[in-house]
Amino acid sequence: MSGSYGPPDRFNEERATYAVRGSDTPDLEAGVAAIRNVLATLPTRSGVYRMQDAKGDVLYVGKARSLKQRVANYVQWKTLSKRLQRMIAQTRSMTIVTTNNEAEALLLEAQLIKRYRPAYNVLLRDDKSFPFILIRADHDFPRVQKHRGARRAKGNYYGPFASAGSVNNTLNALQKLFLLRSCTDGFFKTRDRPCLLYQIKRCSAPCVGRIDPAGYAELVDDARAFLGGKSTGVQAKLAAQMQGAAENMDFELAALLRDRLKALTFIQGTQAINAEGVGDADVFALACSNGVMGIQAFFIRGGQNWGHRSFFPQHTNEVPEDEVLAAFLTQFYEEVPPPKTILLDRELGEAALLGEALGERAGYKVALSVPQRGDRRRLMDQAKRNAVEALERRLAESTTQARLLREVAELFDLAEPPDRIEVYDNSHIQGTNAVGAMVVAGPEGFRKGQYRKFNIKDKNTAPGDDFAMMKEVLTRRFARAQADDPDRDNATWPDLVLLDGGRGQLNAAKAVLEDLGIEDVCLVGVAKGPHHGRDGREVFHLMDGRDFQLPVNAPVLFYLQRLRDEVHRFAIGAHRDKRAKAIGASPLDEVPGIGPARKKALLMHFGTGRAVRNASLEDLQQAPGVSKGVAQQVYDFYHAR
């Protein structure tokens, strides 16, 4: 069972599952027996193993240089921690995949952890991808833009940046400094005069020939040099050009160059972290307090600080700190390309292996080190201080959050503080472009990766009927939950449902749950008070018919208002997106086989979509760029019914 490294779905080797039949009750005896059955057939080569419970759900993913030796440790359960003993007690089967070497096993382990999210692995829970700056290379006048996701477009990528805010600030400064275009290719082609960005000196207007290709290419080279860490050379070049323009009495050009120098100085002045001399590196420091671990990451590229972010891995109880950091790094670099240098605040037992694995994926050598002196040591000290401060803030916030959730439980007669709160709202304008929205919150705050929007599809719903819309949304949500997780094992069922609305919305929701046979989900309607919420006195409607208000200064009221405001914000945003698409839609969008070019040709020829619909076949055939076959297709779509 060997093969080259690749994503799990592309492995060609055989996967073998070994199981033991018996009671579903978790106990060490049955778990150890299952592991022993596997152990008898294991090879001594490297690979990855998955431990599964009686239902086949993955409990743990591990890698090993020698599968036989590694799995044998689980049989000697008395020497293991309580956490691992609980895992063994639940184990009923194992899946084994062999690899060519341990580095491949490490990379495959990270992929499988991301896929299965096992309960006993350290997990990096971060739903957002990191933003990059992309300078395109597929156009005579390259565009500079923010980019997330797969890097398929041809060009130069710079990042990662810690947040959308940090990349947006850098992009704004780049526009002032290098005057590169940020518009789409479609917008670029249709310009016949400069846009506003040219007027405010944030673009050189290549779209209308205000700069030639050679001049624009020079700006692009300067931008690449700056993002590559050569800001000093760019600064000297701009200063020389400004001096020359002043000597030639070209004061307008000198003023423009002066403004660009100011933008460069602003970027350099906003580097809150002194990373000069560090080059390209990621810096990680870990802090631990009261069983909670936090990791601070600084992203340094070309000696410039591109932001920092805090991470709080889950499932870290009884796991040594160095193992948590190592597991975090393998999962973190599953999506993000590593720099050649990774600086850590502590030695890792498998640092060489991790560097080898990351280098194998990246295609260049990656070194992990613990700085001891100089600029790198000062940078690490700053990262460690930030890690401690971020963890302290996290603990303070979690303490406050836990207290608020206890008050929510008391307020709505819940057996215990809710782990999952779902909040619902609708948004529309007189029934048009109607959408429903769901946001999710828990002890850690908002879970934005689990937000959902629902396009209202029921044609029988009268425009503006909020009650019918809410019924449709909740029917789809809970019918899906019953189908996907009838036993409620995956923590996707809410402990509390808040509805942005009054007694009518609550009754509509109750009717949905009764029809589905769901009796144990707490529903609460949150309505504006008698003064339409101007006094902050929302009215809470309970399922048993009671209504009440909270004191204006009650912290739990502020928390519930924040939940309501968040779903309101999300619903309005979803509605605006849908409305914007509808405004830009054309009747020709419904015609199969008609692409953007032919649609544009028809609209340019006939003027409106209605005119295209009413045109005769002969008239359609006369349109430029439209063949007889396409004309017949358009005519048949509108008339052959």
What would the pLDDT profile of 132-173 be if each residue is shown by its tens digit?
A: 889 998 888 999 998 887 788 888 888 888 877 778 878 887
pLDDT band at 275 (very low <50, low <70, confident <90, very high): low
Angle, helices 321-332 vs 102-116, to 10°: value is 80
- Which residues are within 8 A (CB) of 183 and not within 5 positions of it... i.e. 6 or more apart? 143, 195, 197, 203, 207
pLDDT at 593 over 80: no
Indicate whether 401 belongs to any domain.
no
Same-domain pairing of 179 and 260 = yes
- pLDDT the model gives residue 1: 38
Residue 26 pLDDT exceeds 90:
no
Count of domains observed in the chain: 5
Query: What average pLDDT does the segment 594-611 reach?
Result: 74
Query: Which CATH number do you get for residue 471?
Result: 3.30.420.340
Indicate whether 357 and 377 sit together in one domain: yes
Phi first, then psi: what are they for 323, rounded to 5°? -70, -35
The verdict on residue 74 lying in a domain is: yes
Residues 577 and 591 in one domain: no
Residue 527, pLDDT above cutoff 80:
yes
Phi, psi for residue 157 in degrees, rounded to 5: -105, 135
- Specify if 406 maps to a domain: no
Rounded CA Rg of the chain: 30
Strand partners, 284: 297, 344
**Rounded distance, CA 25 to CA 50, Å?**
20
Same domain, 467 and 539: yes
- Asked whether residue 411 is domain-assigned, the answer is no
Position 1 in a domain: no
Mean pLDDT of 310-339: 90
pLDDT at 579 over 80: no
Whether residues 567 and 610 share a domain: the answer is no
Query: Is residue 545 a part of any domain in this protein?
Result: yes
Beta bridge partners of 528: none
Domain ranges, residue 596: 587-639
3-state SS of 488-522 is CCCCCCCCEEEEECCHHHHHHHHHHHHHHCCCCCE
Going by pLDDT thresholds of 50, 70 and 90, the confidence category of residue 264 is low
Compute the residue count for the chain: 641
Average pLDDT, the chain: 83
* Residue 404 resides in a domain: no
Asked if 609 and 594 sit in the same domain, the reply is yes
CB neighbours (10 Å) of residue 330? Answer: 22
Q: Quote the CA–CA distance of 78 and 475 in Å, as a whole number.
A: 49
Q: Are residues 542 and 592 both part of a single domain?
A: no
In this structure, are 554 and 433 located in the same domain? yes
Domain's final residue, options 582, 612, 630: 582
Question: What 3-state class would DSSP assign to 632?
Answer: helix
Q: Which two tokens stand for residue 549?
A: 């208000």
pLDDT for res 14: 39
Separation CA 170–CA 165 (nearest Å): 9
Q: Which residue has the tokens 């050598």?
A: 365
pLDDT at residue 615, as a whole number: 80
**Same domain, yes or no: 106 and 21:** yes
Which tens digits make up the pLDDT trace of 162-214?
A: 877 778 878 887 888 788 998 888 888 888 889 888 888 889 999 999 999 99
- Encoded tokens for 260: 């660009």
pLDDT at 637 over 90: no
Q: Are 300 and 161 in contact (CB under 8 A)?
A: no
Whether residue 454 contacts residue 472, with contact meaning beta carbons closer than 8 Å, is answered with yes
Distance CA 414, CA 421 (A): 12
Band of pLDDT at residue 231, cut at 50, 70 and 90: low
Q: Could you give the 3-state DSSP secondary structure of residue 634?
A: helix
Which amino acid is it at 505? Q
pLDDT above 50 (res 462) = yes
Encoding tokens for residue 419?
Answer: 């782990």
Q: Is the dihedral of CA 289, 341, 228, 255 positive or negative?
A: positive
CB–CB of 60/118 below 8 Å? yes
User: Does the global pTM surpass 0.75?
Assistant: no
User: Hey, how many other C-beta atoms are within 10 angstroms of the C-beta on 410?
Assistant: 11
Q: Within this chain, do residues 378 and 334 fall inside the same structural domain, yes or no?
A: yes
Same domain, 231 and 253: yes
Number of Cβ within a 10 Å radius of residue 120: 20
Provide DSSP, 232-249. HHHHHHHHHHHHHHHHTT
**Distance between CA atoms of 283 and 378, rounded to whole angstroms?**
11
Single out the residue of 139, 148, 185 nearest to residue 168, CA to CA. 148
The pLDDT, as a whole number, for residue 272 is: 47
Kindly state whether residues 170 and 108 are assigned to the same domain.
Answer: no
